[in-house]
């Protein structure tokens, strides 16, 4: 059962930088957005490619707050897992790491953007994709 995860060593610094640059709140907020963003790409990550666990540590309460059951449901549906599967924590960790990398890559290309503009842009793109689906 998932109780806590640790990001990769590389992502420990990235989550701190993104938190400062995007100004969306605490680091766990950025990690939560990263998890959701990674899942939204609809890619299935391979457990054999899991990164190190030498970075920032998040308990399930800190990472997901009162909405743990919803986030758990998202990962279970995405991978076809039952909520007690032993690998859920690994998948959550992988999607946090993946999402942090994705967001960092995008933010590096945008010199002067804040968190509100970044999220608004992603939402707009998502709405356009839904409209034409």
Tell me how crowded residue 104 is: count the other CB atoms within 10 A of its CB.
Answer: 18
pLDDT < 70 regions, the chain: 126-133
pLDDT of residue 120: 81
pLDDT of residue 128: 59
pLDDT of residue 127: 57
pLDDT of residue 114: 81
Report how far residue 68's alpha carbon sits from residue 82's, in angstroms, rounded to the nearest whole number. 15
Model confidence, pTM: 0.89
Domains of the chain: 4-131 (1.10.1220.160)
pLDDT of residue 133: 46
Q: Which residues of 71-93 are buried (b: 16+ CB within 10 A; e: fewer)?
A: bbebbbebeeeeeebeebbbbbb
């Amino acid at each position: 059962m998932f109780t806590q995860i640790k990001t990769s060593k590389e992502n420990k610094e990235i989550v701190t930088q993104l938190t400062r640059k995007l100004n969306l709140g605490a680091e766990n907020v950025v990690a939560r957005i990263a998890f959701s963003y990674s899942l939204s790409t609809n890619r299935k990550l391979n457990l054999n490619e899991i990164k190190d666990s030498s970075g920032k540590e998040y308990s399930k309460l800190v990472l997901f707050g009162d909405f743990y059951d919803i986030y758990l449901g998202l990962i279970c549906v995405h991978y076809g897992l039952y909520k007690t599967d032993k690998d859920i924590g690994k998948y959550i960790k992988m999607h946090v790491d993946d999402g942090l990398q994705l967001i960092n890559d995008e933010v590096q290309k945008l010199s002067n953007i804040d968190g509100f503009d970044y999220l608004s842009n992603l939402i707009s793109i998502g709405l356009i994709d839904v409209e034409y689906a």
